[in-house]
């Protein structure tokens, strides 16, 4: 079957997580992605382990680098820079995540490449953007979570600030990059022009504070940590059962009435302290304590059966192995295998142009000779490039 982006060539100068995640999303949709890495070392996540797969690749690198080709290119060497420009002249998209000005110093900035390829879409991912007082600082996910306010609202109310279990600022920046590139490609279809995309982890972090940021901007009151509870919806948190935890998400009064019936406490639904969500938020401690006492007396399976029968949103708090091996994950084909490597598959399901896994993450420089040959370099020239440390 066809893929949606099969006609696109993407040059990926990025490393670690945000940029590689973006290019993997686009590669899953069919784009050809050439990952450009430093000779001898490559993307540093190749060595971020254990665990390592049998082929020596780290689990971290495997997570975001499938469906790509890898070439090595010494961007500090004039010939390496010339090869990069030649590739860029043929590409649809270029992604990089160096500090501002780094690519320009190598003759590979947007203003350098635009005359060679006016249709090029050039996406720069940095910690703080191309301008502003912090522009020249390197960006690290956990620092962005701290400075962008996320850690201040994550964790138990009386505990220390807490980061999330996944590098969520990097991942969401990767998703922003992918969607921004697709928007720029759409614009190019009728304008014929490429453009420059300046994407900052810090900006992205602020953008998806969503209702929490909005609450502050409306009220002027700094948001605080609620642990696993919700600031403005009650009950909306996990509760302990006899053998684990169950997440309950009661989003409206009809659900709360059914929830009370399932707990054999129908009187709560008409109690003026709890009958409406604003009342429950005001009397949070009382209702949560009462719910916790009831739910602690039965198993997770017992409550799952009763609450789902009552059409109350809920689910067990699973560990990662349970989630990945769940019947829903299996039914959706979320765990894929290629060349003996298991990985989480693409999330979108297209009816006509499916997202696919066509190749495993590449060994460092595995495609260097083939790509250079496509550019017209002879076998002797390619050997010379290897001998001189250019590739």
pLDDT in tens, 26-44: 999 999 999 999 999 999 9
Calpha distance 6→159 (Å, rounded) = 49
> In 17-109, which ranges are continuous DSSP H helix?
18-28, 59-64, 78-90, 102-105
Q: Where are the alpha helices (DSSP H) in 148-283?
A: 168-191, 201-207, 210-219, 253-262, 277-282
Q: What is the pLDDT of residues 329-380, one digit of tens each?
A: 999 999 999 999 999 999 999 999 999 999 999 999 999 999 999 999 999 9
Distance separating alpha carbons of residues 31 and 181, to the nearest angstrom: 12
Q: Would you give per-residue pLDDT tens digits along the chain (391 residues)? A: 789 999 999 999 999 999 999 999 999 999 999 999 999 999 999 999 999 999 999 999 999 999 999 999 999 999 999 999 999 999 999 999 999 999 999 999 999 999 999 999 999 999 999 999 999 999 999 999 999 999 999 999 999 999 999 999 999 999 999 999 999 999 999 999 999 999 999 999 999 999 999 999 999 999 999 999 998 999 999 999 999 999 999 999 999 999 999 999 999 999 999 999 999 999 999 999 999 999 999 999 999 999 999 999 999 999 999 999 999 999 999 999 999 999 999 999 999 999 999 999 999 999 999 999 999 999 999 999 999 999 9
CA atoms of 138 and 159, how far apart (whole Å): 28
DSSP class of 42: -
Tens of pLDDT, residue by residue over 227-238, are 999 989 999 999
Q: What is the pLDDT of residues 300-331, one digit of tens each?
A: 999 999 999 999 999 999 999 999 999 999 99
Give dist(CA 131, CA 60) in Å, integer.
Answer: 31
What pTM did the predictor assign?
Answer: 0.93
Neighbours of 80 (CB within 10 A): 23
- The SS3 call for residue 44 is helix
Active site residues: 170
């Amino acid at each position: 079957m066809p893929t949606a982006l099969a006609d696109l060539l993407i040059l990926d100068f990025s490393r670690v997580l945000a940029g590689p995640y973006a290019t993997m999303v686009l590669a899953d949709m069919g784009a050809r992605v050439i990952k450009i890495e430093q000779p001898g070392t490559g993307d540093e996540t190749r060595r971020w382990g254990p665990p390592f797969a049998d082929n020596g690749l780290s689990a971290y690198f495997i997570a975001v680098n499938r469906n790509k080709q890898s070439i090595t290119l010494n961007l500090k060497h004039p010939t390496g820079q010339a090869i990069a420009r030649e590739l860029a002249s043929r590409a649809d998209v270029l992604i990089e995540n160096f500090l501002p000005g780094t690519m320009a110093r190598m003759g590979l900035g947007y203003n350098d490449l635009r005359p060679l390829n006016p249709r090029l879409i050039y996406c720069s991912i940095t910690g703080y953007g191309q301008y502003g007082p912090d522009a020249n600082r390197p960006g690290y996910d956990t620092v962005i979570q701290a400075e962008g306010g996320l850690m201040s609202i994550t964790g138990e109310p009386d505990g220390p600030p807490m980061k999330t279990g996944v590098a969520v600022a990097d991942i969401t920046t990767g998703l922003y990059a992918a969607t921004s590139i697709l928007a720029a490609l759409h614009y190019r279809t009728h304008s014929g022009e490429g453009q420059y995309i300046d994407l900052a982890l810090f900006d992205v972090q602020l953008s998806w504070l969503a209702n929490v940021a909005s609450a502050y901007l409306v009220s002027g009151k700094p948001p605080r940590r609620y642990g696993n509870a919700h600031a403005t919806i009650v009950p909306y948190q996990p509760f302990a059962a006899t053998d684990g935890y169950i997440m309950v998400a009661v989003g409206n009064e009809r659900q709360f009435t059914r929830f009370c019936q399932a707990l054999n406490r129908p009187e709560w639904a008409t109690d003026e302290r709890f009958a409406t969500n604003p009342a429950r938020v005001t009397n949070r401690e009382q209702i949560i304590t009462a719910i916790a006492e009831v739910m602690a007396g039965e198993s997770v399976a017992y409550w799952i059966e009763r609450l789902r029968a009552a059409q109350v949103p809920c689910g067990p708090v699973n560990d990662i192995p349970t989630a990945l091996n769940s019947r829903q994950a299996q039914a959706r084909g979320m765990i894929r295998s290629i060349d003996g490597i298991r990985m989480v598959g693409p999330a979108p399901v297209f009816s006509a142009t499916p997202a696919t896994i066509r190749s495993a993450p590449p060994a460092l420089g595995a495609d260097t000779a083939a790509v250079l040959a496509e550019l017209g370099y002879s076998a002797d020239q390619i050997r010379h490039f290897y001998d001189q440390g250019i590739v």
